[in-house]
Amino acid sequence: MTLPHWRRWLVVLATGVALSACATGNTPAAPPAISPPAVATNAPPPAGKPAAPARPATLEVPAIGVRTGRIIDLGLTASGELEVPQDALTTGWFTGSPAPGDVGPAVLAAHVDYNHVRGTFYRLKDLRPGDQALVHREDGSTAVFTVYRVAHYPKSAFPTDEVYGDTAGPELRLITCGGTYDRATRNYEDNIVAYARAG
């Protein structure tokens, strides 16, 4: 059986795909305001026609005040770690994961802070079960997800299969850095992952 595109990425990962680098900072900055698409639906495709994957355009997480600008594409670094956005306010979609709303765990990543600017996912650790994340997609639809767990992992023991492994339905993973900041390496030692299901 041929593996789905997003599962093939997992085969080449020898250790863990942690979010590798987040720089410190403590100057707050508001994310850019956006207007969500007028049409918001999770309607199924017509019978007999599979829907083409719809790229994520923007993200809203009302409980922690997140309203992003345009979501960019992220891949893997040469060392096999998840790429990170190049500024504090950009959110990225790991293109090796499903599109949000498709079966499997879609992965979005952003900084907790970067270059002394508060990052988009600064308050990710504050999410609670029942909070919602809305991914507005380029086709004008919105995939709605409900958080069921927020976990904190050392980067040295990042649970790749748990975060990126198969799921029965559409799910979402929001990933950022956290824990202790190592001034020598200029990186946080841990990752924070919010898990959410469609609906």
Kindly give the confidence (pLDDT) of every residue in the chain, 199 residues in length, as a single tens digit, with 9 standing for 90 and above: 333 444 544 444 433 455 655 644 332 222 222 222 223 334 444 444 445 578 999 999 999 999 999 999 999 988 888 899 999 999 999 999 999 999 999 999 999 999 989 999 999 999 999 999 999 999 999 999 999 999 999 988 999 999 999 999 999 999 999 999 888 888 899 999 999 999 9
pLDDT at site 17:
52
CB atoms near residue 130 (< 10 Å): 9
Phi, psi of 74 (to 5 degrees): -125, 145
Give the whole-angstrom CA distance, residue 89 versus residue 111. Answer: 7
Count the helix, strand and coil residues of the chain and give each as a percent rounded to the nearest 5.
Answer: 10, 35, 50
Give the whole-angstrom CA distance, residue 64 versus residue 3. Answer: 36
Give the whole-angstrom CA distance, residue 197 versus residue 54. Answer: 17
pLDDT at site 150:
98
The residue ranges of DSSP E strands in the chain, in sequence order, are 56-61, 66-67, 72-74, 92-94, 104-109, 113-114, 117-118, 132-137, 142-154, 170-182, 187-198
Kindly report the CATH number that applies to the domain delimited by 56-198.
2.40.260.10
Burial 110-126 (b: 16+ CB within 10 A, else e): bbbbbeebbbbbbbbbe
